Structure 1
Amino acid sequence: MDLLILEDNEDDIFLIQAAIKEVSNGMEIVFARNVEEANSLLTQAIADRTLPKACLVDLRIEGGVSGFEFLENVRSNPEAKLIPLVVFSSSDYVVDIETAYRKGANSYLVKPFSFSALVELVKSFEDYWMRQNNLPPAFRGES
């Protein structure tokens, strides 16, 4: 898995998938619709030694644990704590941005309002996080 996306909004999932399909060169994406599912997928990735190159995390998850708690969970897990965590939220509130960074986010992106802007954002995201960013050997399937 290249990218684990924590997102519970089906409309956003559809748009993200469409944008990725438009610009991606085979990025393997897995969606989790709640924090429990994301934690389970991450646990399996650790067991399989197939850590994602990054996690894209929505903060506002309906009816349960928030994206903030997922950030904390990942950062407190010795086997997952180095995974780049990128918040992808509709919130541009300073308190959310500051809290996300305090809880371990590496980056904070605000969801754009137009599909064309989303496509450009996905293109930039994939270029940096999937191609240019150098990850430790464990993320490349090496020991």
Structure 2
Amino acid sequence: MQSRHPIEILLVEDNPGDVLLTQEALDEARLPNNLSVAEDGMHALRFLKREGEYSNAPRPDLILLDLNMPRKGGHEVLDEIKRDADLRAIPVVILTTSDHEDDVRRSYDAHANCYICKPTGFDDFFSVVRSIEDFWMSTVHLPPRHGNV
């Protein structure tokens, strides 16, 4: 069972429409959650390392990571997260439109916790986000937070 504190989620997504859909689906979640959004991989890493304007960012309990983004792609972000001793325990869910075998293999080789292809339909997208919520926020036991967050 999870703590009474809201689940901290970092969504790394450059598509404003997908950000909005994810926010709406999580707003209907059974468990309280706080969603932070990074618009690309560079912002995500600064958020996770609490650099610059992100110096007071909460440590996420879960990261939802798109692969295809400008500036720094999801594969690079995943590699950096999983190489960092302070970040590697945070579960990373790849949430992307790519169903290419190379992307799936590369993601799991870099220790992604799961790989989900974004559906194109509104209802299907909501269903996928709800399934993420059901599994990662209700079923599994997430690692404890470090530090003073």
Fold shared by both chains (TM-score > 0.5): yes
Q: Is the 8 A contact 1:53 1:130 kept in 2?
A: no
The TM-score normalised by the length of structure 1 is 0.86
Aligned equivalents of 2:102, 2:24: Cα separation in 1 = 30
Q: How many residues align?
A: 140
Aligned equivalents of 1:80, 1:56: Cα separation in 2 = 14
Higher helix fraction: Structure 1 or Structure 2? 1
The TM-score normalised by the length of structure 2 is 0.83
Q: Does 1:58 align with 2:85?
A: no
Partner of 1:100 in structure 2? 107
Residues 96-122 of structure 1: CA deviation (Å, up to 9, x unaligned):
100111122110000011111111111
Partner of 2:118 in structure 1? 111
Q: Is the 8 A contact 1:86 1:107 kept in 2?
A: yes
Q: CA RMSD in A?
A: 2.3
Q: Is the 8 A contact 2:91 2:112 kept in 1?
A: yes
The answer for unaligned runs of 5 or more in structure 2 is: 1-6
Q: Is the 8 A contact 2:21 2:126 kept in 1?
A: no
Q: Does 1:16 align with 2:22?
A: yes
Identity between Structure 1 and Structure 2 (%): 29
- Alignment-mate amino acid for residue 101 of structure 1: Y
Q: Judging changes above 3 Å, is the alpha-carbon distance between structure 1 residues 87 and 129 closer, same or farther for their aligned structure 2 residues?
A: same
The answer for unaligned runs of 5 or more in structure 1 is: none
- Alignment-mate amino acid for residue 130 of structure 1: M
- Alignment-mate amino acid for residue 136 of structure 1: P
Aligned equivalents of 2:121, 2:72: Cα separation in 1 = 28
Which aligned segments of 4 or more residues in structure 1 are displaced greater than 3 angstroms?
A: 22-25, 47-50, 139-142
